[in-house]
Amino acid sequence: MNPEPSTAVIGGSGFYDLPGLTDLEELNVSTPFGAPSDALRVGRLGGRRVVFLARHGRAHSLLPGEVNARANIYALKQVGVTHVVSVSAVGSLREAIAPGDAVLPHQFIDRTEGRARSFFGQGVVAHIAFADPICMRLSRLMETAARSQPGNVHAGGTYVCIEGPQFSTRAESELWRSWGAAVVGMTNLPEARLAREAELCYATLALPSDYDCWRSSDEAVTAHEAFETLKRTVDKAKSIVAQALADIDPRQGCTCRTVLDAALVTPPAAFSPEARSRLAAIVARRLGAESV
């Protein structure tokens, strides 16, 4: 039996739970790519099935580079997730984007190093289209929800994802600005790439906690200061997410859900038994189509 289509929330720094879930259960899911960051908390909100995952673990025990994004996305796919709402702490690279605002980026620049960024390889080749990395239908729903809450909302712009765990140097911060980036964070890649490979709709709510370090008049950001700001904004973020979840129909079709049709190069008939097992949740739709 196929699991009920669901929306997932991946909570970032400061966002370790999702209030209001009923019929709550915890699932400890194993994947071919290892264990996800934490148990999946599955419940219902407004009658719809919702899955919550704390990206860094509920005790915030994982560095950005230690997050097993492949296991996280694979686990969500296994339990029936079709849409992923990402919530992430970031630094602002623009004067107009103040700490406490809500940002819905539409683009990414990847400056991570050495993170596993694909489910494919080892005998199976796929090249997904990633020109537009955000599901715009989902991002617009999140924007509408954000605008229903007090405070400024910035839709669009580029999120530059750095390796961390150190914050940027001033020279790096100025470089990101010269590239036109709006915010800087450490977690949305390869997460967004993997969500696309898994044919999931994905969009991000970014929460600026500081101005990074490009403003010469400011002291450099510290983790303590960033988390203090996040404590003041996380309740608003949870309200935005709850409103968005009420508007997301996880059964609704989207082009995100068929990207492998134009991306998979290796014919499914040529998959080894090991590859079929390893990629079972990711390519199940394609394998089913090939058997018809």
Residues in the chain with pLDDT values less than 70:
1, 289-292
Of the residues 38, 101, 110, 212, which is catalytic?
212
> Per-residue pLDDT tens for 129-153?
999 999 999 999 999 999 999 999 9
Domains in the chain: boundaries: 6-291
Of the residues 38, 101, 110, 210, which is catalytic?
210
| pLDDT of amino acid 291 | 45
| pLDDT of amino acid 220 | 72
| pLDDT of amino acid 292 | 30
| pLDDT of amino acid 289 | 59
Give the homologous superfamily in CATH for domain 6-291: Nucleoside phosphorylase domain (3.40.50.1580)
210 is a catalytic site residue: yes
> Per-residue pLDDT tens for 167-225?
999 999 999 999 999 999 999 999 999 999 999 999 999 999 999 999 987 777 778 77
Looking at residue 17, its amino acid is D
8 A C-beta contact, residue 193 and residue 130: yes
247 is a catalytic site residue: no
